[in-house]
Copies of this chain bind each other. A is one copy, B any other.
Amino acid sequence: MSILVVGSVAFDDVASPSGSAKGILGGAATYFSLAASYFTQVRVVAVVGEDFGHEQEEVFRQHKIDTCGLERANGKTFRWGGTYSDNLNEAKTDYTDLNVFETFRPRIPKQYADTDFLFLANIQPTLQADVRRSMNHVRLTGCDTMNYWIKGAPKELAETLKLVNVLLINDTEAKMLANETNLPRAAQKVLAMGPQALVIKHGEYGATIFFREGAFGFGRHPFRAPALPIEEVKDPTGAGDSFAGGFMGYVASQKELNREVLKRALFYGGVMGSFAVERFGTERLQSLSREEIEARFQIFRELTHLE
């Protein structure tokens, strides 16, 4: 089934202990789309500038990603520069030039009205809510956010959280959102804000999905998927968005929507995140095969499953 992602497309300058890359295609919607494209048909709503050319467009086309919702605006595409030191979990932002992204107002093409699944990448919460309200027929909505909105737009974010089914954030964001240092307690507080399921990403330690009582099945037991122990993380940029793309893409590819599907989706999220960080930018995500993805899924299983 189809999935629509609304978010950023960008050009990135990235440096890490493994090297550097300049002017490479990035942005949450880009990483998400590429990761999800191995599982299902992807549609993208984003804005780019006049510097976004044929070469970049081809990356989407080659993965059969529908770019009818990709708006061309006068000006330059969003640019971000970041540097990773030995602590690869956190980037030092060198600069953020929002450019055409500053006045981005998502417009959903009419032909996207039949979209089955929706992912709201990290943008201003009111815009997320507007998109969600205009897509009332979706089966499931996933959502990302960040510290900037948790601190700066808590009321707007609270409204958005009432409209989404699955929230995907990291440990720090979950604790900040719930104002609670204990993670399982923070998870229960966040679930009480709206989502039926909460995916908390732990970086190199994997991710946990918490369910609201009765949502997608029975009980309150969470489920934990690992991350792959990787000896050389070249570029962590987009790992979270690739995780979301693998997670949501797998969910959208399944007929049923239950806990077992969401648990497997958590594994596929980790799988796509692990590929993303192996090379700079989207390079690795552009060149995968479904066989490679399944082989890595097996490695994730062997990493955690007893005989």
A residues at B contact (CB < 8 Å): 86-87, 181-185, 187-188, 202, 204-206, 208, 210, 221-226, 229-233, 260, 263-264, 267, 299, 301-307
**CB <8 Å contact, B86 and A181:** yes
Query: A210 CA to B303 CA in the complex, in Å?
Result: 11
Known: A202-B205, A306-B264. A184 touches B231 (CB 8 A): yes
**CB <8 Å contact, B221 and A299:** yes
- Extra A-B contacts (12), CB below 8 Å, given A185-B231, A222-B229, A225-B304: A86-B181, A87-B181, A183-B204, A206-B224, A210-B229, A221-B299, A221-B302, A221-B303, A224-B304, A263-B306, A264-B306, A304-B305
**CB <8 Å contact, B181 and A208:** no
Chain B's closest residue to A259 (CB) is: B307
**CB <8 Å contact, B307 and A304:** no
Query: A267 CA to B307 CA in the complex, in Å?
Result: 13
Query: A119 CA to B222 CA in the complex, in Å?
Result: 33
Q: Which of B182, B267, B303 contacts A232 (CB 8 A)?
A: B182
Query: A210 CA to B224 CA in the complex, in Å?
Result: 20
**CB <8 Å contact, A306 and B267:** yes
**CB <8 Å contact, A224 and B303:** yes
Q: Which of B185, B226, B230, B231 contacts A224 (CB 8 A)?
A: B226
